[in-house]
């Protein structure tokens, strides 16, 4: 699973250099208690310090026979 985001900051009339974040997970599904390895690459072409903050969101899908599927979201 791979993700990428590019942002530029702006202060009134002058635009700062872009910051590019690339992330990669080994796979898209994990079981309880399993470690998650996240690779992150930050290309900071601006002058400001950049910090990475990660938020994990758990999605659980449950279903009963002949019933609708329900999604539960929780932040870890």
Token pair listed for 32: 């309880």
Which pLDDT score, from 0 to 100, does residue 67 have?
Answer: 55
Residue 5 φ/ψ, nearest 5 degrees: -145, 140
What ranges do the domains of the chain cover?
A: 2-75
Estimate to the nearest angstrom the gap between the alpha carbon of 34 and the chain centroid.
18
What's residue 74's pLDDT?
55
pLDDT at 56: 81
What is the predicted pLDDT for the residue at 68? 57
pTM: 0.58
Give me the tens of pLDDT residue by residue for the chain, a chain 76 residues long. 678 778 777 666 666 788 888 989 888 888 888 888 889 999 988 888 888 888 888 777 776 665 555 555 555 5
């Amino acid at each position: 699973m791979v993700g990428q985001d590019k942002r530029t900051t702006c202060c009134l009339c002058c635009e700062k250099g872009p910051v590019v974040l690339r992330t990669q997970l080994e796979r898209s599904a994990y079981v309880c208690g399993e470690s998650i390895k996240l690779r992150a690459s930050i290309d900071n072409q601006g002058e400001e310090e950049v910090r990475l903050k990660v938020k994990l969101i758990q999605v659980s899908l449950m279903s009963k026979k002949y019933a609708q599927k329900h999604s539960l979201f929780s932040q870890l």
